[in-house]
Structure 1
Amino acid sequence: MTVSAELKSDLLAARDLRQLDLNSFINTEHNTVIMMALNIPGPDKLPAGGEALMAWGRRCVEVKTGAHCVVTNRDAAGLYMLFVCDLAPQRCKELAVKIEEQTPAARLLDVDIYTNDGDQLGRANLGFKARRCLLCERPAVECMRTGNHEPDAIVQSAQQRLSTFIN
C-alpha cells in the first residue's frame, strides 16, 4: 500500500485548514479548545464504523468535560470536531487520555487539547506514556518512523477495532 502524492497533498491541505478552524477559537473566553479527530491508517479515512466511533467520542468528550461542540467537519484526513471548554487544559488532557484508552476502538481517536494561548498539551506534559502502536507495545511514533509493521497489517488492526462500531 502506497500513498499517492495527490493524497499526501490533500492531507497536508486538510491539516492547514484544520489549523485555521482551531485558531478561530484560540484566545477566546474559554480555557480550553479540544480537537477530536479520527486517526485512521491507510487511504480510506472514513471506513465503516468511523462515524459511529466519532459520535461515541463526542458523547464522551461532552459528558466528561462539559465541552460544547462548535465545529463538525469532514476533509481529506477524515472527520474532526472542535469543542470549547471551561475546564483547565490539564484536567481536559487527563480526561482525553482516559477516553482514548477506554476501548480498543477509541485508540483510533485523537483527542488533542489546546490552551487558550494555542499551546498543545501533550501526554508527556502530564507524565503519561506515549500512545502505543496498534500492533505492538512500542510507542506508535517509533513504529511509524522505523516502519516496523506492514501497512496492510496496521489498516487491518484499525478495521478490526472499528468492527465493534458497525451495526
Structure 2
Amino acid sequence: MDGFNVAQLLDDREERYKKQIEMITVHNLPIISFTINTPGSEKNNKIIKHIFESGLKEIESVLLNNSIEIMDRYYSTDGLSGPIIILSLSSNPIKLKELMIGIENKHSLGRLLDIDVIDEQLKHISRTDLGFETRKCLICNEYAKICSRSQRHDMTDVLNKFYDICFSYLANQNKKT
C-alpha cells in the first residue's frame, strides 16, 4: 500500500468504534460489525471487496432466514482498514452470535470473516462466551491471536494462505455460473 500510515489506520479503526457505539446508543439494540480478517497493510482492494460482499450476502441470508429485522445499517468500503458494515438488529445478541459463528465455521470463506456481535451494554459477545473455541491461525492450529501478536509466521506465508482461500472461493463461484 503506497503511503501506508499506521496512525491513519488506527484513526480509521477508532472512527469505526465510535460508529458502533453510536448505533448501539441510538437504537438500544445489539449490532453486528462485519469486516474481513485481512493480514498485512493492504486492507482494501477488488478481491477483498468481493470477498466482503460475498460474506455480507451470507450474513443477510442468515438474518432473513431467521426473521431477524435489520433496523439500521452503516456501510463503508473506502476506509483504510477495509470494508465494513454495522447492522443494528432487533434480536437477542446470543442468538446473533450463534448464527454468526455458524457462518464463520461453515462458510468456505468463514476463516476470513470477522463478524463481531456487541450487545446493548457495549459488551462483545465472544465465541468463548458461548462455549466455542477461539479462532485458529490460518497457517497452523494455534490460536490466531497468539500467532498474530507474536508474529509467529512470515507475512508472505500468511498473505499467500489468505489469497489462496480467496482465489479458491472465487474459482468455485465461477464454476457455478
| Normalised TM-score (structure 2) | 0.84
Kept in 2: contact 1:50–1:165 (CA 8 A): no
**Equivalent runs, 1:115-134 vs 2, <5 Å:** 115-134=119-138
Using the TM superposition, name which of 89-98 and 67-76 deviates more: 67-76
Deviations 1:72-105 (A, max 9, x none): 1131110100111112100111111111122342
Give the superposition deviation at 1:5.
Answer: 9.7
Give the letter for the 1:133 counterpart.
Answer: C
Deviations 1:90-133 (A, max 9, x none): 01111111111223422111100010121111111111101000
Unpaired segments ≥5 residues, structure 1: none
- Give 2:144's aligned residue: 140
- Give 2:170's aligned residue: 165
Give the superposition deviation at 1:58.
Answer: 1.5
- Give 2:42's aligned residue: 44
- Give 2:19's aligned residue: 21
| Normalised TM-score (structure 1) | 0.88
Kept in 2: contact 1:134–1:157 (CA 8 A): yes
- Give 1:114's aligned residue: 118
Kept in 2: contact 1:49–1:165 (CA 8 A): no
- Give 1:71's aligned residue: 74
What is the Cα-based RMSD across aligned positions, in Å? 2.1
Instruction: Report how many aligned residue pairs link the two structures.
Output: 165
Could you say which structure has the greater relative contact order, defined with CA pairs below 8 angstroms and 6 or more residues apart?
A: 1
Q: Percent same amino acid among aligned pairs? A: 22
| CA distance in structure 1 between the partners assigned to 2:123 and 2:112 by the alignment | 23
Unpaired segments ≥5 residues, structure 2: none
